[in-house]
Amino acid sequence: MKWNRVGIKKKADYGILTNEITKAWSDMSVAEYKELKDLKKENLRDNMSNLELVLNMLGEVTTTEISKDRNPKEFSESKSIAKEGGGVAGETRRNIENKLGRSVITKKNNLGIKPRQKLK
């Protein structure tokens, strides 16, 4: 996200907005999501399944497009837009889950997976 375009420069504010997008699509905060996957300091995105990652990206991209169109001037407007953009991905998640008959959010993570050995 290019939040600095709308005057958001503090790292904490970036975190708040990212958290709003995540909550809106996954129904969990970033901290709750990391707890589900038993992550400590590891990157959440690096431990998402393909579907989780695509939904996360959909929330981010949708938020960016809404923000470009509305050009928010205040943090509260950006926060509202983050919820809205993440909500689009949340609707998509629920639609996919209805089709699959199961949750697309998984406890699985990439911990313990050894990197591939280079071929000699």
pLDDT digits over 16-47, tens only? 999 999 999 999 999 999 999 999 999 999 99
Number of domains in the chain: 1
78 domain-assigned:
yes
Is residue 65 a part of any domain in this protein? yes
Question: Burial code of 91-108, b = ≥16 C-beta within 10 A, e = fewer?
Answer: ebbeeeeeeeeeebbeee
Does some domain include residue 3? no
pTM of the model: 0.85
Residue 111 is classified by DSSP as T
Using 70 as the pLDDT threshold, list the residues of the chain that sit under it.
1-7, 9, 112-120
Domain containing 89: what range? 8-100
pLDDT given at position 42: 92
**pLDDT for the residue 114:** 54
| Confidence (pLDDT) at 30 | 96
pLDDT on residue 116: 52
Rounded to whole angstroms, what are the CA distances from 73 to 8, 17, 65, 82, 102?
10, 15, 15, 14, 40
pLDDT score for 13: 84
Q: What is the pLDDT of residue 15?
A: 87
Q: For residue 107, tell me if it sits in a domain.
A: no
pLDDT at 4: 57
Whether 111 is covered by a domain: the verdict is no
Q: For residue 108, is it within any domain? A: no
Residue 95 belongs to some domain of the structure: yes
CB 75 within 8 A of CB 41: no
For residue 109, tell me if it sits in a domain: no
